[in-house]
Structure 1
Amino acid sequence: MTQLQRILPDADLSGAVAVLRSAHGTVAQQFGFTQETNPTNSAFIDAETLRGQLEKGIELYLMIEEGNAVGCIAIEESQTEVETFYIEKVSVVPDFRNRGLGMELMNFAASLIKERGGKHIGIALINEYEKLKAWYQRQGFREILVKEYPHLPFNVCFMSKEI
């Protein structure tokens, strides 16, 4: 059985950092990202950077299974769009993938967003990551926009879902 616990900025962030680095490390490897080519990727995150994000209002939830940190998810309320929240950092460590934990994380986040009056969920991902894009589409997300950012080595796909 899994548990989700909110990680506050003053907490020990080592478990969350380990999950993010492990989960996103496989993606970085798949796409050839390095700390030099994509320094903001979660594969290269450190506790100081994560703490700064938490202090700015991102809520991070760590998934624990049998005492092990196996995944995490973050939500953030939009400052510009009414009734809109963003889901970020959807992560499951490689050894625990394909067990439905990612879907469990997404359902948890959607329920929390709905409880807070959210009606729209937005996500952003690597546009070229077709497998992940299809996974989100199966959950009802639709592609809104693909945008190029000069500082990123990939295009960003923005997706949205009504809840």
Structure 2
Amino acid sequence: MSIPNFSVATETDIPALEQLVNSAYRGEHSKKGWTTEADLLGGIRTDANGLKNMMSEPAAVILTYTGEQGLLQGCVFLKQKANKLYLGMLTVDPELQAQGIGKKLLSAAEEYARQKNCDGITMTVISVRHKLIAWYERHGYRKTGATEPFPADPSFGLPKQELEFVVMEKSL
């Protein structure tokens, strides 16, 4: 990847990724940002084994974004599926949210998709995360009308209410 401040994560990045992702999605620290899932899900968002498994999936990468001091500030999981790129786990440090890092991650994902000759990007978003869905819509993503059940696997979190995903897509 030759986009400034971005690189493909390796296993040496796992401890920092685990801390970043969990701090952005769950627990009290996540509430410093606007993308928290702490009121919807208990437990952790990911662990070292989950991240390692994601990295080892065929046609998948985790892109990392580092700031000027070389500190990890964001990441995104990308997996090519035929002519589409699946985008997941878009993460920005809660204390740095609303500073454009998420937009940079989306742009890098779109550039990566183009490099892989993908004609679109798909993602799933928890249906009750209205502000997040609206943010993606402002960046060209649209609900497809499809939904997916939230996994019953506790490694994805412990739902505090009934949850499902909406499928969103952007054509490139």
Fold shared by both chains (TM-score > 0.5): yes
- CA offsets 1:9-48 (integer angstroms, 9 cap, x no match): x3241111111111112323132x112xxxxxxx431111
Q: Does 1:63 align with 2:68?
A: no
State the distance in 1 between where 2:151 and 2:107 align. Answer: 33
Q: Which residue among 154, 157, 160 is the counterpart of 2:169?
A: 160
Number of aligned residue pairs: 150
Displacement of 1:115 in angstroms is 1.4
State the distance in 1 between where 2:142 and 2:7 align. Answer: 29
Greater RCO (Cα-Cα under 8 Å, separation 6 or more)? 2
State the distance in 1 between where 2:151 and 2:75 align. Answer: 28
Structure 1 residue ranges without an equivalent (≥5): 36-42
Percent identity, aligned pairs only, is: 19
TM-score, with structure 2 as normaliser:
0.81
- CA offsets 1:49-86 (integer angstroms, 9 cap, x no match): 210121113200111112211110111011xxx41111
CA RMSD of aligned residues (A): 1.6
Q: Does 1:111 align with 2:120?
A: no
Code of the aligned partner of 2:141: F
Counterpart of 2:155?
none
Code of the aligned partner of 2:42: T
Q: What are the residue-to-residue correspondences of 1:1-163 with 2, within 5 Å?
A: 3-8=5-10, 10-25=11-26, 26=30, 27-31=36-40, 33-35=41-43, 43-57=44-58, 58-65=60-67, 66-78=69-81, 82-144=82-144, 145-149=146-150, 151=152, 153-163=162-172
Structure 2 residue ranges without an equivalent (≥5): 31-35, 153-158
- CA offsets 1:79-129 (integer angstroms, 9 cap, x no match): xxx411111110001110000100000000101111110001101010100
TM-score, with structure 1 as normaliser:
0.85
Displacement of 1:154 in angstroms is 0.7
Structure 1 residues 34 and 109, CA gap change in structure 2 (3 angstroms): same
- CA offsets 1:119-160 (integer angstroms, 9 cap, x no match): 011010101000000011111111011233472641101001
State the distance in 2 between where 1:149 and 1:98 align. Answer: 27
